[in-house]
Copies of this chain bind each other. A is one copy, B any other.
Amino acid sequence: MTADLEAFLAESAERRLASYHELLRIPSISGLSAHAGDCRRTAEWVAADLRASGVENVDVSDTGGHPVVYGDWLHADGAPTVLVYGHYDVQPVDPLDLWKHPPFEPFVENGRMYGRGAADDKGQVHAHLRAAEALLATRGRYPVNVRYLFEGEEESGSPNLEAWLDANRERLKADVALISDTGFLQGNRPAICLSLRGNMYAQIDVTGPSVDVHSGGYGGAVQNPANALAWILAELKGRDGVVRIPGFYDEVVPLSEADRGQFASQPFDADALAAETGVPELAGEVGYTVPERRGGRPTLDVNGLWGGFQGERTKTIIPAHAHAKVSCRLVANQDPLVIFERLRAFVLQLAPDGVRVGVTLLDTARPLNTSAEEPAVQAASRAVEQAFGAAPLYQRGGGSIPVAAMVRDAMHAPVVLMGFANDDDNAHAPNESMILSNYENGIRAIVHFFDDLATTPLA
């Protein structure tokens, strides 16, 4: 990192924070159609910021859903090309009453930026925007060729991105993809992510009587959709944490001894995780450690369920219908579409008499695996060490970034998962936050990565 770059970051510190606030203030919740305008506004904001820094060919590209922001700088002849990916959309914010401050009124406290998207992923997108600004302001150029791709539907499963990627192959030509949407380990220990779980997200709808009926008059005569839903959900996963969908584990790549060693070497404190999340004790699939369960094994979770009376006191009804959102985190080589079909068949088989049951696919993401031996991963590792003063550990992420596998499959290029979120960032939860020093050093790590890559043989 050159002295003039450090000087630029120092003199622009206040402006940078104000701009970070500004980006977080737009409520770009991609999953709620009422926020479609906010998503577009955020895309325009990001595009304007890229243009102001000197990034070229910037445009806000329609996808059928929320737009993709693209921009490039391709004047580093002979140097490799990096495709940078991030997402400007955010998760919904309910339950709102658990936020100490409103989610879209960001504020700084104890060295953290609080607000929806502070870490996932607007803070990391903003770090890339500031790295671009710093490089072009101080050097007038990048050490490598760079393409930016910021999407607005990641938190909704990127339903339109794959089609956009197919239609924009020319814009994807790159030697490596850099995704900054992951984080560090417990205790804010720097880490590079080697794998991501895939995802399959479905909804189960159970329908009984055409309207809610009196549980006195009809109890015992009419099948109850809420009881039926419970019977179905209870069978999907055992109390031992093992998913019971027939064939669910058929394509799972078993953990090798080396894998298990890597998991075992990660810093992990079960009591701290239980205390942080507020649970009486951790729980999960028998036969695996907690880090293995989170990063190396598939799961099934009910993400939400509802039906019938949910108000104060009592209402004596048999509900007309009951519903659940159910998702599976997947590992290599599970295919989310195959898993959905197996779930669907199993649910229909579990449906009792007297109700109608439907299963709908809402979202998919394929799992991703990258080797620690990959030269670009090694470059990222050095960049993080330079910026944060500690060599990163390699981890396997529990979450899913649909684009990771899409980009890998579309580009046939390695995907580097270099992200800077803290592990207690409350992503997807109330009071999301980003440690500001992670954000600041993230900017430095991005610059280091570009510099390192300019001299690293990639293949």
Contact = CB atoms under 8 A, between A and B. Distances in A.
Contact of A303 (B94, B199, B314, B356): B314
A189 interface: no
Interface string A406-438: 000000000000000001001111110000000
B294 A322 contact: no
A8 interface: no
**Oligomer copy total:** 2
A283 interface: yes
Nearest to A356: B280
Contacts of A216: 197, 199, 329, 397-400
A208 B280 CA distance: 8
A118 to B, nearest CB: 14
A363 B283 CA distance: 34
B231 A234 contact: yes
A309 B145 CA distance: 42
A209 interface: yes
A222 B277 contact: yes
A192 B98 CA distance: 52
A74 to B, nearest CB: 34
A157 interface: yes
A400 to B, nearest CB: 6
A279 to B, nearest CB: 5
A101 interface: no
A132 to B, nearest CB: 28
Interface string A363-405: 1000000000000000000000000000000000111100000
B428 A316 contact: yes
Given A282-B222, A290-B221, A315-B428, A215 B329 contact: yes
Interface string A218-252: 11111110110111111111010100000000000
A99 to B, nearest CB: 10
Contact of A31 (B218, B233, B308, B311): B311
Q: For A98, A239, A303, A431, which residue has the most chain B Cβ atoms within 10 angstroms?
A: A303
Contacts of A111: none
A210 to B, nearest CB: 3
Interface in A289-306: 290, 293-294, 297, 299-306
A316 to B, nearest CB: 6
B362 A313 contact: yes
Interface string A271-291: 001000111111111001010
A110 interface: no
Nearest to A183: B217
Contacts of A139: none
Contact of A398 (B92, B219, B285): B219
A212 B329 contact: no
A199 B356 CA distance: 28
Interface string A313-329: 11111110011110101
Contacts of A457: none
A75 interface: no
9 tightest A-B CB contacts, nearest first: A216-B399, A210-B278, A304-B308, A283-B354, A234-B234, A220-B293, A230-B233, A304-B309, A226-B302
15 contacts: A211-B429, A214-B428, A214-B429, A218-B398, A220-B294, A220-B299, A224-B302, A226-B304, A230-B305, A303-B314, A303-B315, A304-B308, A304-B317, A314-B362, A316-B327
Given A216-B329, A227-B236, A234-B235, 11 more contacts: A98-B211, A215-B301, A217-B294, A218-B277, A222-B283, A222-B284, A226-B304, A227-B300, A230-B233, A230-B305, A304-B308
Interface of A: 31-33, 91-92, 94-95, 98, 156-157, 197, 199, 201, 208-224, 226-227, 229-237, 239, 241, 273, 277-285, 288, 290, 293-294, 297, 299-319, 322-325, 327, 329, 352-356, 362-363, 397-400, 423, 426-431
